[in-house]
């Protein structure tokens, strides 16, 4: 096994888009027959925009040329608060490792690269949404559950 952790560029937009679909199918337990064409199109446009504006960083994990994992972090800004006076935030997303490569430290190393990207930008407010499969990894890394956040459901 010869793993490479590659910081994605705009040249990787097709594989980034396809990995997004893989992640969403896995996280939402969607079968291959569920139509993801609109999500695929919007993801492609998101990557095109966010990579060019440097508001998203993604890493691809490859074994030789084979895709085995990925992770991304989006950067944004909110009003400054007492606990986050810069208002800068990072949101980690699209974490995925192919099942046969799990439990080998790949996701942990990818997460570490993403957190380092945020910290290099002076961002300390880093959050994510965890699936049951990923929760242990994030807790091991130091993420804690948040009780005060709410979301409007349609």
- For residue 88, being part of any structural domain is answered with yes
CA pair distance 19, 33, nearest whole angstrom: 17
**CATH number, position 124:** 3.40.630.30
Residues of the domain holding 47: 3-141
Write down the pLDDT at residue 39. 97
- For residue 153, being part of any structural domain is answered with no
| Positions of the chain with pLDDT lower than 50, given as ranges | none
CA pair distance 39, 43, nearest whole angstrom: 6
- For residue 147, being part of any structural domain is answered with no
- For residue 128, being part of any structural domain is answered with yes
Write down the pLDDT at residue 130. 87
pTM value is: 0.91
Give the chain's domain count.
1
44 contacts: CB under 8 Å, gap ≥ 6:
13, 17
- For residue 31, being part of any structural domain is answered with yes
- For residue 85, being part of any structural domain is answered with yes
- For residue 151, being part of any structural domain is answered with no
In the chain, which residue ranges form alpha helices assigned H by DSSP? Answer: 13-27, 37-53, 106-120, 132-141
47 contacts: CB under 8 Å, gap ≥ 6:
10, 13, 16, 17, 20, 56, 58
Alpha-carbon torsion 28, 31, 35, 38, what sign? Answer: positive
Write down the pLDDT at residue 133. 83
Neighbours of 142 (CB within 10 A): 8
- For residue 148, being part of any structural domain is answered with no
CA pair distance 110, 103, nearest whole angstrom: 13
CA pair distance 8, 6, nearest whole angstrom: 6
Scanning the structure block, which residue is given the tokens 């807790």? 139
- Per-residue pLDDT of 5-35, as tens digits, reads 999 999 999 999 999 999 999 889 999 999 9
Write down the pLDDT at residue 148. 75
């Amino acid at each position: 096994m010869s793993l490479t952790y590659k910081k994605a560029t705009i040249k990787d937009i097709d594989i980034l888009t396809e990995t997004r679909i893989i992640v969403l199918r896995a996280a939402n337990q969607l079968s291959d027959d569920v139509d993801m064409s609109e999500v695929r199109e919007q993801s492609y446009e998101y990557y095109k925009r966010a990579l060019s504006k440097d508001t998203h960083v993604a890493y691809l994990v490859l074994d030789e040329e084979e895709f085995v994992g990925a992770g991304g972090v989006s950067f944004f800004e909110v009003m400054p608060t007492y606990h986050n006076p810069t208002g800068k935030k990072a949101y980690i997303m699209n974490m995925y490792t192919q099942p046969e490569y799990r439990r080998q430290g790949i996701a942990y190393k990818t997460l570490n690269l993403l957190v380092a990207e945020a910290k290099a930008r002076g961002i300390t407010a880093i959050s994510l949404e965890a699936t049951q499969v990923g929760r242990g990894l994030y807790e091991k890394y130091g993420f804690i559950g948040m009780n005060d956040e709410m979301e409007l459901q349609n």
